[in-house]
Structure 1
Amino acid sequence: MTENVNADPAELAKFSELAHRWWDPESEFKPLHQINPLRLDWIDQIAPLEGRCVLDVGCGGGILADSMARRGADVLGIDLADKALRVARLHALEAETPRVRYREISAEALAEEAPQSFDVVTCMEMLEHVPDPGSVVRACALLVKPGGWVFFSTINRNPKAFAFAILGAEYLLKLLPRGTHEYAKFIRPSELAAACRHAGLELVHTRGMEYNPLTGRYWLSSDTSVNYLFATRRPAE
């Protein structure tokens, strides 16, 4: 890996070790399987996916990319974790998922290679795992066509988010492996909004995501104090 790649080798190794479990709905990736219908429907309501050219940045094992392809989009998933991409490709073959492909490339490198190529760009649960999230935001803004949509989701940085996303999810409820997240890498909505503005993206919709540990239910709400989602748009030229 070259020094200028915006990725943390420890983060890539962490997810590579679990790569074979991406598509096990009862594995460490169970929360991703549970929240995927929520984020998929939200994206599809704002930017209908049928017939769209879509890029999923930080696709991992392909949970979101696969589901967007099944909604009728032509999807490219990109990641720098080779083992996760191999799992994604294998699942696409086994499930006969149409119109989805995967590449090992960074968002920044793809932005140089293919700017303004996608109707929709998604970057979900990824920004809190890279050294320079602003660089990813800028790359996403370059990759989307004028008038196109860019979706982000990440975790707020405040005491409640630490209590819920780290102490609660990783230590008490064991929803995620310990060490999945680092509090210092969490991103306040104001910080992400500023990064979007600087990249030329307009923030259009914001939603929070909540979880009830008693019922095991996730839902979208107006509470962005822990997990939250942004829908941004590149102005039409």
Structure 2
Amino acid sequence: MNQTVNADPAELAKFSDLAHRWWDPESEFRPLHQINPLRLEWINGLSPLQGQRVLDVGCGGGILADAMARKGAQVTGIDLSTKALRVAQLHALEAQTPDIEYREVSVETLAQEQPGSFDMVTCMEMLEHVPDPDSVVRACAALVKPGGWVFFSTINRNLKSFLFAIVGAEYVLNMLPRGTHEYAKFIRPSELAASCRAAELDLLHTRGLEYNPITQRYWLSADTSVNYLFATRRLG
């Protein structure tokens, strides 16, 4: 695993500046609040969360981690944004969320500390924000038990995703702060699939995430041309 921290200081600063708004459903994080029920039910439908030990990589303010804990999982959320983690911890205390803890540690470091320790690993909306996404995929694979599930979500790299995820979401609809995403860091499904294979993760399910700006509704579909999700299992 990498000894250097696999993080972009500018990315950490960007999300740290917004940390106090993580749990405001009308804030810049509104899209995460809106898609959370979809991704939660998809994950739970493939691998029921009740009683599982789950790691949420790049947990931010804890929106998904908190929801998984409320489904009965024992959840650890990790991130490198101190401010976001403080917000997550405070929310867990105020909401009395059961069986949840947060740590400021890189996924690569945790993989060295606790290999094969988790029944499930989730890494959602994070790969497109790090310098070396392959390193994150390898670490996620190392952290899950053989046969355990690893879930990813990220953004495809093509003209449509540039128009929808950057021009549309950041500049036209103002759904996200400008500069949230960098096109060059988007990841094609074929590239992520290759990373998963190299990490001995078997890709079993793929879904797309679509959005209608008129109805302001999200839904899962077979269209992976912009946002997409992978469900993989560790071989062995």
Same fold by TM-score greater than 0.5 = yes
Q: Does 1:191 align with 2:191?
A: yes
TM-fit CA distance, 1:16:
0.1
Taking only the aligned residue pairs, the percentage that are identical comes to 78
Give me the whole-angstrom Cα distance separating, in 2, the residues matched to 1:168 and 1:126: 20
Q: Does 1:34 align with 2:34?
A: yes
Partner residue, 1:25 = 25
After superposition, what is the alpha-carbon deviation per residue over 1:177-213, rounded to whole angstroms, capped at 9, x for unaligned? 0000000000000000000000000000000000000
Give me the whole-angstrom Cα distance separating, in 2, the residues matched to 1:3 and 1:56: 21
Partner residue, 1:100 = 100
Residue ranges of structure 1 left out of the alignment (5+ in a row): none
Q: Does 1:149 align with 2:149?
A: yes
Give me the whole-angstrom Cα distance separating, in 1, the residues matched to 2:25 and 2:99: 23
Give me the whole-angstrom Cα distance separating, in 1, the residues matched to 2:3 and 2:140: 21
TM-fit CA distance, 1:134:
0.2
Partner residue, 2:228 = 228
Give me the whole-angstrom Cα distance separating, in 1, the residues matched to 2:88 and 2:97: 11
Q: CA separation of 1:114/1:3 partners in 2, compared to 1, >3 Å: closer, same or farther?
A: closer
Q: Does 1:125 align with 2:146?
A: no
Q: Does 1:48 align with 2:48?
A: yes
SS of aligned partner of 1:178: coil
TM-score by length of 1: 0.98
Partner residue, 1:177 = 177
Partner residue, 2:111 = 111
Give the AA of the match of 1:138.
R
SS of aligned partner of 1:90: helix
Partner residue, 2:213 = 213
Q: CA separation of 1:34/1:20 partners in 2, compared to 1, >3 Å: closer, same or farther?
A: same
Give me the whole-angstrom Cα distance separating, in 2, the residues matched to 1:97 and 1:37: 17
Give me the whole-angstrom Cα distance separating, in 2, the residues matched to 1:164 and 1:128: 15
Q: How many residues align?
A: 235
For the aligned residue pairs, the C-alpha RMSD in angstroms reads: 0.9
Give the AA of the match of 1:58.
G
After superposition, what is the alpha-carbon deviation per residue over 1:17-53, rounded to whole angstroms, capped at 9, x for unaligned? 0000000000000000000000000000001000000
Give me the whole-angstrom Cα distance separating, in 1, the residues matched to 2:113 and 2:66: 23
Q: CA separation of 1:51/1:3 partners in 2, compared to 1, >3 Å: closer, same or farther?
A: closer
TM-score by length of 2: 0.99
Partner residue, 2:64 = 64
TM-fit CA distance, 1:4:
1.0
TM-fit CA distance, 1:3:
7.9
SS of aligned partner of 1:153: strand
Give me the whole-angstrom Cα distance separating, in 2, the residues matched to 1:102 and 1:175: 28
